[in-house]
Amino acid sequence: MADIEIEIDGKIISAKAGEMLIKVTDREGVSVPRFCYHKKLSVVASCRMCLIDVEGAPKPQPACSTPVNEGMKVHTQNDKAKVSQKAVMEFLLINHPLDCPICDQGGECELQDVAVEYGSDVSRFSEDKRIVSDSDIGALIQTDMTRCIHCTRCVRFGLEIAGIMEMGGTGRGEHLKIEPFLREGIQSELSGNMIDVCPVGALTSKPFRYELRSWQMHSIPSIARHDLVGSNLFVQTYKDKVKRVVSADNDWVNETWISDRDRFSYEGLTHENRLLEPQIKVQGQWKQVSWKVALDYAIKGLNSHVLKHKKVNQLGGLVSNTATMEELYLLKKILTEVGCDNIDHRLNVKNLDNTITLDSNIKLDALEKIDYALIVGANIRLEQPMINHRLRKATKKGADIDTLNVMAFDFNYSLNTENIIAPNKIAFTLAGVLKSVITSNTQELPDYLVAVEIDEVANKIASKLLNSSSSVIILGEHIINNEDASVIANLVTKIAKNTNSKTLNLSITANTIAANLVGFVPQNSGMNVNTMFTSDMLGFILLDIYPQYDFHDLDTAIKTFMPDNTFVISLNSFKDDIVTGYSDVIFPIASIYETSGTQLNINNDMKSYTAAVKAPNEVKPAWKVLKVMADLLELPGFHYADSTQIRAEISHQPHAKYVHDECINLTSKHNGISTIWQSSPYSIDAVLRHSRALQKTKIGQMNNACINPVSAEILGLSADDKYLGVPVVITSTVADDCVFINANQPTNIQEQE
């Protein structure tokens, strides 16, 4: 668009021909009131609050839908504009209830703010106000629809951003109301953003209802820590309690949206299951003690069981991928200083000789500019909702998306093809894609591809990749324990190289990128987690671990931690019976929003944040606990005053580098029925599991083992049975030879053959 000049309130301003006038006024800091307009939503021009005077036009024009053109003269503050805006305001307030004193939006209500300037202190309307009955739309959003001004922001958000039109207008005239179409209410994983876009108090946060006014709270900028995006947000606090979480603008990361789990997970912080005091086990009985006593007990236990006998090769350090970069670094440094190389964060991988090594070389904002994507092994909408949002934007611009999954998932955009393939056939399909690509490029075939057959699915995918100018191949979490995991990753790398495609590795989760950066994997001849579980171990330091959720084999983990001669130090945020059963010392550590630290997102951006609130009671940040343990062990180099010093030290360390094994062996290793286990999106970490509102949602209650009729017959299962403790659902949407489990409950997820 060419640059033009227009005049606004007597000032000459440069603009792009054809852009809407309201964008120009916003950019120039000219105040124009609005309700229906939102910068990330389509323009409907329904509220008419943004009426302004355009010279030459017979009547006032809505700034949101009026394109600029050369020589245009606009008046936003003259009598014609003001009279029009005040008239619209009067109409909007005719039916609006006078309940500002009890409305949760009070103090941050757009209608309230605009009414101060454009409203009248006397109403000419004397009839009864309209009353609209409220709908129960779920555990997250409270409705007060009498306040609704029909701006349709929530409707457009669902249709354009969330990808599900769950709200809509029914009726006409004074009977028009905005309500959900389905009795189940709102089901979107992004639904909480409706609260933010609502300009009045019609949609508010149900967990936050009647808590506080906005001006009573402090807003602390922070980072979401449940996925690979690191969405920017504000944590709003009152008297050292997190009361609400709202989104912060960052077009490069999360735009202006956040997922529901980022918005509502804070509820878990005040759960009655929080660990609040250090505990030690004395003669089989737990005692709450001071930090000094607990730390002394831990150090004496480490010394007596491991260090004094110089058996550091029988000491292990295991950590959840939810830990901060600083915590990962300190635990590794402690163990390295005492001579122990047995460390790992890959707790859910069954075969660590068959791991995924795949680079992510596409930025978040670039995802919406692709013209083709191949998704392999991911229900990306629920597992990485903000990344899925970018892909949805790409499809709206014309991009095609194909999937290779073991089950049909509910995508919120149209797919080019949805290919449901058994786990043992994914590698062979990708090998067919690679062979088709290499053949089309008239290159020499490597030996491992000579016998590969190219089916129709592989041919079509190869054609799409070759004819795309900007494509990406996305590898998801479902491949982690596939018997061909490393082969699949290597095939993806080679396909991408031969088609000039980008790659995105979503098999990593939470803060795994930071764990890889600091090298929290076995060093030198150190043991990995699975080797530790088959060795005679004498001690463990476990950080933020809940075995029934974190390990691929719960029974083996407990058997390793449980022996009397094994001394176990656990750092946890929540009480847990299994952790209590095997631990000798439990340190209560700060959870999200209670500690400072750093998260690495999929862009490889280091996102640091400060503690929004002080941790309750005797709870301490894990990095401080580890620092004091190092001091008590008399280890050098742990004189940190705050976590920023740890981060600075990390930035000066050589980062761990991993050699990519590009060996490809297409011999099938699969036997029997494979189990693909996926934690439900609101059960992936301890804080989410303790958020009451999230657990009441349909997504939070996902707990089923999906299997097709043929595989069910092989396993002797019916719809009334349970598989690995999870209720069975028999459906033809699942591929052969596998069971796909979405679980929100702890259980032993060891695969059954």
Mean pLDDT calculated for residue range 652-679: 78
Q: Measured between alpha carbons, how far is 339 from 333 in angstroms, rounded to an integer?
A: 10
- Does the structure show a pLDDT above 60 at 753? no
Measured between alpha carbons, how far is residue 145 from residues 35, 202, 662 in Å?
A: 16, 5, 58
- Does the structure show a pLDDT above 90 at 433? yes
In the 8-state DSSP scheme, what is residue 130? P
In the 8-state DSSP scheme, what is residue 10? T
Instruction: Tell me if 689 sits within 8 A of 711, measured CB to CB.
Output: no
Least confident of 18-32, 124-138, 291-305: 124-138
Burial-class residue 736 by CB neighbours within 10 Å (0-12, 13-18, 19+).
Answer: middle
Instruction: Tell me if 330 sits within 8 A of 624, measured CB to CB.
Output: no
Q: What is the pLDDT of residue 135?
A: 85
> How many residues are given for the chain?
753
Sign of CA dihedral 206, 210, 214, 217: negative
Alpha-helical (H) ranges within 568-635 are 577-582, 622-632
Q: What is the pLDDT of residue 246?
A: 97
Among candidate residues 295, 336, 280, the one with its CA nearest the CA of residue 631: 295
Q: Measured between alpha carbons, how far is 224 from 685 in angstroms, rounded to an integer?
A: 13
Q: What is the pLDDT of residue 1?
A: 60
Q: What is the pLDDT of residue 666?
A: 87
Question: How confident is the model over 509-526, as pLDDT tens digits?
Answer: 899 999 999 999 998 889
Give, rounded to a whole angstrom, the gap between the first and last alpha carbons of the chain.
61
Among candidate residues 383, 497, 481, 395, the one with its CA nearest the CA of residue 441: 497
- Does the structure show a pLDDT above 80 at 614? yes
Neighbour tally for 361: CB within 10 Å: 14
Mean pLDDT calculated for residue range 85-91: 93
**Residue 90: partners with Cβ closer than 8 Å, 6 or more residues away:** 119, 120, 123, 124
pLDDT band per the 50, 70, 90 thresholds, residue 583: very high
Mean pLDDT calculated for residue range 617-623: 98
Q: What is the pLDDT of residue 472?
A: 98
Instruction: Tell me if 322 sits within 8 A of 225, measured CB to CB.
Output: yes
Sign of CA dihedral 538, 543, 544, 549: negative
pLDDT band per the 50, 70, 90 thresholds, residue 595: very high
More confident residue, 753 or 558: 558
pLDDT band per the 50, 70, 90 thresholds, residue 748: very low
Q: Measured between alpha carbons, how far is 373 from 503 in angstroms, rounded to an integer?
A: 10
Q: Measured between alpha carbons, how far is 397 from 399 in angstroms, rounded to an integer?
A: 6
Mean pLDDT calculated for residue range 197-217: 95
pLDDT band per the 50, 70, 90 thresholds, residue 747: low
Q: What is the pLDDT of residue 117?
A: 87
Identity at 356, one-letter amino acid code: I
pLDDT band per the 50, 70, 90 thresholds, residue 750: very low
Q: What is the pLDDT of residue 714?
A: 95
The CATH classification number of 365-505 equals 3.40.228.10
- Does the structure show a pLDDT above 80 at 183? no
Identity at 731, one-letter amino acid code: T
Q: What is the pLDDT of residue 426?
A: 97
Class in CATH terms, 674-743: mainly beta
DSSP 238-263: ETTEEEEEEE--BTTTTBT---HHHH
| Phi, psi angles (nearest 5°) of residue 564 | -60, -30
More confident residue, 309 or 142: 142
Alpha-helical (H) ranges within 120-220 are 153-156, 193-197
Taking CB atoms within 8 Å and a gap of at least 24, the contacts of 520-523 are 520/319, 520/328, 520/331, 520/332, 520/343, 520/344, 520/345, 521/343, 521/344, 521/345, 521/346, 521/656, 522/341, 522/342, 522/343, 522/344, 523/336, 523/341, 523/343
Question: How confident is the model over 458-516, as pLDDT tens digits?
Answer: 999 999 999 999 999 999 999 999 999 999 999 999 999 999 999 999 999 899 999 99
Domain boundaries, the chain: 3-86, 100-270, 279-351+512-651, 365-505, 674-743
Mean pLDDT calculated for residue range 695-702: 94
- Does the structure show a pLDDT above 50 at 716? yes
Q: What is the pLDDT of residue 328?
A: 98
Q: How many degrees, rounded to 5, is the angle at CA 254 between CA 513 and CA 679?
A: 55
Q: Looking up tokens 């959900």, which residue turns up?
A: 180
Question: How confident is the model over 350-400, as pLDDT tens digits?
Answer: 999 999 999 999 999 999 999 999 999 999 999 999 999 999 999 999 999
The CATH classification number of 279-351+512-651 equals 3.40.50.740
pLDDT band per the 50, 70, 90 thresholds, residue 124: confident
Q: Measured between alpha carbons, how far is 566 from 265 in angstroms, rounded to an integer?
A: 34
Q: Measured between alpha carbons, how far is 379 from 401 in angstroms, rounded to an integer?
A: 13
What residues are paired with 730 via a beta bridge? 707
Q: Measured between alpha carbons, how far is 615 from 605 in angstroms, rounded to an integer?
A: 27
Instruction: Tell me if 747 sits within 8 A of 737, measured CB to CB.
Output: no
Q: What is the pLDDT of residue 174?
A: 80
State which CATH number among 2.40.33.20, 3.20.20.70, 3.40.640.10, 3.10.20.740 fits the domain covering 3-86. Answer: 3.10.20.740
- Does the structure show a pLDDT above 60 at 752? no
- Does the structure show a pLDDT above 60 at 277? yes
Helix (H, G, I), strand (E, B) or coil at 657: coil
Retrieve residue 195's tokens.
């609260």
Q: Measured between alpha carbons, how far is 500 from 589 in angstroms, rounded to an integer?
A: 46
For the chain, what is the largest distance between any 2 Cα atoms, rounded to a whole number of angstroms?
Answer: 93
Retrieve residue 426's tokens.
């994914």
Q: Measured between alpha carbons, how far is 348 from 478 in angstroms, rounded to an integer?
A: 12
19-42 in b/e burial notation, b at 16+ Cβ within 10 A? ebbbbbbbeeebebbbbbbbebbe
Record: fold of 100-270: Alpha-Beta Plaits (3.30.70)
Q: What is the pLDDT of residue 114?
A: 92
Identity at 332, one-letter amino acid code: K
β-strand pairing of 232-238 with 285-288:
unpaired
Retrieve residue 492's tokens.
């993806």
Over pLDDT 90: what percentage of the chain? 86
Q: Measured between alpha carbons, how far is 106 from 751 in angstroms, rounded to an integer?
A: 53
Neighbour tally for 184: CB within 10 Å: 11
pLDDT band per the 50, 70, 90 thresholds, residue 749: very low
307-328 in b/e burial notation, b at 16+ Cβ within 10 A? beeeebbbbbbbbbbbbbbbbb
- Does the structure show a pLDDT above 80 at 608? yes
